[in-house]
Amino acid sequence: MKILQRAAIGMAALVFASALPAQRLAGASSIGGGVTEPNSCKWTLETAPDRVRTPVQMDIHAAYRLFAFKSDGSIGYRVRSRFPHAAFLSYTLYKDDALVYAALLDRDVEPDPGSSNPFRAGELVDAADRSYTITVLPDGAAPDDSMANPIFMPPRARHSGLVTLVLAQRIYLPEPGEDRYGGIDEPTIEPFVASSPATPAACLDDDFTSITDQFGSVAGHFSQSPLPRNGRIGFYRPPVTQVPFADGDGLQTKRDCTGYLMATVYPDRLAVIRVPRLPAFFDNTDITSTTRFVEPDGVRYLSLGSYGATVMGVLENENIAGPDVQTLPDGSATFVAIPVGLSTGETATVIEKARLLGYNVMPLAAYGALIPGHAAQINPFLIYRNKVAAKGFPGNIKNVACFQGTSFAHAPWLYAASPANMGEYAPLGVECSVPEFLYGSCGRHFEYAQP
């Protein structure tokens, strides 16, 4: 299958390097001064780089837009756009503790009058009229008929004048031929006085480029999942406290885990991962003008990505998503992550063997600095994603228990993905030396028993 030539943030570890400058708005806001005339606010950041440093946890099949702002509870925002030609769209609103406060998934967005939502059953996937409006409102505001698809900001703390918020737009897996944003221009963001929705407000003419250090202050407490035990690789759900600004479909607390699975591995051995039954997913590689949307009975999107202390990107195929995953006749999929430190000859031999077996091939990053120039070190790790699981789907990542102990790196095997919590859809892996993989049976047999 084709390897999509797109790159962007996936797992969304997006962290502020410093406190954001205050956004001062006109109208009824008490945040005075430094405003422009009423207009459409600018997105703070668009993130879709062609090359990434993998500890930043990017999925090369996704793209992000971020709008950071300070709120005193007096200003709302209308976000106007069109549904992308892609597999997935969402909006998430983050509090100043980097946790999701509110979320809106594509299928739940009511389209504008005369438009259709292409993420709903029976609708044309490439419908020409595909506009929508989202309204971001302060806590306590009473929406009226003019406020389509309302999502609400968190309440301000007592005696607090401002709260820092981030609105994130995510787009995953554009159709072939579309840009990484699914062929849709950036949405407009129109501020208005919350108590008088017909009254425009104004946007701050200021610099928000401080949202650039995507690991920021988390370097000191970033924790990885357990390393392999007796050669067996386990996949665990990272706590949201370890992945600031992680994706989510609703309110998160510090007791929650992400919707991803992490497997930490050693950097000098092959990591061989098998998914016994690959979930059904939304395949948008052959959309025509008459294709109507059918929600998969599995997930909307899935991928396996490779991360660590190595700069990699699209050309290295560090992330393999649904349409590109090669499956075996029994419906399973196996991946071989090859250490970047192997010789050219060894790498070529392993790739040839993997392809003869029908396995997917990807690089395995090196061990090294979590952030260049800092002492904290990071092992290579793999991230398995599946988004928008069908109701009752046994392979939903959220079926894996959320470990809340003091050290994620020492989570018991009970908290790993297994047939007990994900059925046939549970990923598991083994570590192999090059000779064991080439000439032995390593990477052919997988067991879920306690290692």
Is residue 329 a part of any domain in this protein? Answer: yes
pLDDT value, residue 60: 85
Q: Measuring CA to CA, how many Å separate 164 from each of 71, 157, 258?
A: 7, 11, 22
Of 295 and 33, which is predicted with more confidence? Answer: 295
Phi/psi zone of residue 122: left (φ > 0), alpha (ψ -120 to 50 degrees), beta?
A: left
DSSP string of 388-418, one letter each residue:
SPPTT-TT-GGGS----SS-GGG--GGGS--
Q: Residue 214 pLDDT > 90, yes or no?
A: no
Task: Report the mean per-residue pLDDT for the chain.
Answer: 85
- Same domain? For 434 and 320 the reply is yes
Read off the pLDDT band of 446 (50, 70, 90). Answer: confident
- Same domain? For 175 and 255 the reply is no
Q: Residue 1 pLDDT > 80, yes or no?
A: no
pLDDT value, residue 391: 95
Is residue 392 a part of any domain in this protein? Answer: yes
- Same domain? For 232 and 176 the reply is no
- Asked which of 169, 200, 231 is the last residue of a domain, the reply is 200
Rounded-to-integer distance, Cα 74 and Cα 85, Å: 34
- Asked which of 200, 235, 267 is the last residue of a domain, the reply is 200
- Per-residue pLDDT reduced to its tens digit, 3-56: 222 223 333 333 322 233 333 333 333 343 345 556 789 898 887 656 655 555
Domain range for residue 237? Answer: 218-439
pLDDT value, residue 206: 57
- Per-residue pLDDT reduced to its tens digit, 87-118: 999 999 998 888 999 999 999 999 999 999 99
pLDDT (average), residues 423-446 = 95
- Flag the least confident range among 208-212, 354-358, 369-373: 208-212
pLDDT value, residue 37: 53
Is the Cα dihedral 48, 50, 56, 61 positive or negative?
positive
What share of the chain in percent tops pLDDT 90? Answer: 65
Name which of 14, 94, 55, 33 is nearest 372 in CA terms: 55
What share of the chain in percent tops pLDDT 70? Answer: 85
Q: Residue 146 pLDDT > 90, yes or no?
A: no
Q: Residue 216 pLDDT > 60, yes or no?
A: no
- Same domain? For 303 and 273 the reply is yes
Is residue 411 a part of any domain in this protein? Answer: yes
Is residue 450 a part of any domain in this protein? Answer: no
- Flag the least confident range among 64-73, 201-210, 442-451: 201-210
Helix (H, G, I), strand (E, B) or coil at 55: helix
- Same domain? For 103 and 181 the reply is yes
- Same domain? For 223 and 119 the reply is no
- Same domain? For 233 and 362 the reply is yes
Is residue 12 a part of any domain in this protein? Answer: no
Rounded-to-integer distance, Cα 183 and Cα 180, Å: 7
Element holding 425 (H helix, E strand): none
Is residue 374 a part of any domain in this protein? Answer: yes
- Asked which of 200, 234, 263 is the last residue of a domain, the reply is 200
Is residue 37 a part of any domain in this protein? Answer: no
Tally of structural domains, the chain: 2
* Cβ pair 70, 162 in contact under 8 A: yes
Is residue 184 a part of any domain in this protein? Answer: yes
Provide the token pair at 60.
Answer: 């090369």
pLDDT value, residue 314: 72
Q: Residue 141 pLDDT > 60, yes or no?
A: yes
pLDDT (average), residues 279-302 = 96
- Same domain? For 194 and 224 the reply is no
Name which of 22, 66, 42, 29 is nearest 163 in CA terms: 22
- Same domain? For 247 and 395 the reply is yes
- Same domain? For 386 and 249 the reply is yes
Strand order across the 163-174 sheet: 45-47, 62-71, 163-174, 86-94, 100-105
Name which of 99, 9, 98, 4 is nearest 54 in CA terms: 9
Domain of 93: which CATH number? 2.60.120
- Same domain? For 298 and 150 the reply is no
- Same domain? For 327 and 181 the reply is no
pTM of the model: 0.87
* Cβ pair 191, 41 in contact under 8 A: yes
